[in-house]
Amino acid sequence: PKMSSLTAKKRADGRDANQLRALSAERSLLNRADGSSRLVVGESKLMVAVYGPGTINKRLEKMDKATLQVTFRPVSGFSGSVETELESFIQSAVEPSIMGLLHPRTGIQIVIQVQHSDGSELANAINASTLALIDAGVALKTQVVASTCALLSDGTLILDPTLEEEASATAVLTFAFDKQMKGVVATKASGYYSEENFFRCLEACRHSAAQLLSFFELGLRKKLESSRTVTE
């Protein structure tokens, strides 16, 4: 179904304005991690590993809950201020979903490795992190799912923008939601936009995040059913 708030306009890759790229998700790919996921969205690819809950440096311990650490590694080169900002945002989006009270004085580490970058990187990293946390068996209060939209100079709103589309956009906004899609867990916006366009983006991203959540939950159910079949 088309969303009325989006202008019907074909994009360079043939998608409609409100159309997400083809995506696939895999879990349990890394033997040494407690949980892992690989998310492929169009040409974007990233791998996430989760370690813990486990022992942590005493100076980082929290008496009442687990300590979450996020490491974001770019495709090549060393991490810089951009990656540090992404780490902070991902931590603020994901940490409230973790039932850290069950694991006081321990650490949970999320390591995100970008394998190929082609836009909507922050949303992809959050979604892959949630999948890896589930794979690690970390107790969650809710699942966090994120979506990115871009505003073009002519007012067109596009979902799941590529790197090229982000570069030509007047604004790029990423929203992270809880599983119920009612609460906005975190928001990151850059560029210029009106209050009206902010709320247009919010509702469009809420709609697409719900679609993504359905896709991820379907994959989790299929894996669970497959595991039961093998066990039986």
Q: What is the pLDDT of residue 217?
A: 85
Q: What is the pLDDT of residue 224?
A: 55
- What is the largest distance, in Å, between two alpha-carbon atoms of the chain? 57
Q: What is the pTM of this model?
A: 0.89
Mean pLDDT by 10 residues, the chain (232 residues): 49 91 91 93 95 79 82 86 92 90 84 94 95 92 94 93 95 94 89 94 94 84 54 48
For residue 205, which amino acid is it? C
Q: Which tokens sit at 39? A: 């998310």
Q: What is the pLDDT of residue 4?
A: 39
Instruction: List CB contacts of 194: < 8 A, sequence separation 6 or more.
Output: none
Q: What is the pLDDT of residue 66?
A: 81
Distance CA 26, CA 128 (A): 9
Distance CA 179, CA 43 (A): 26
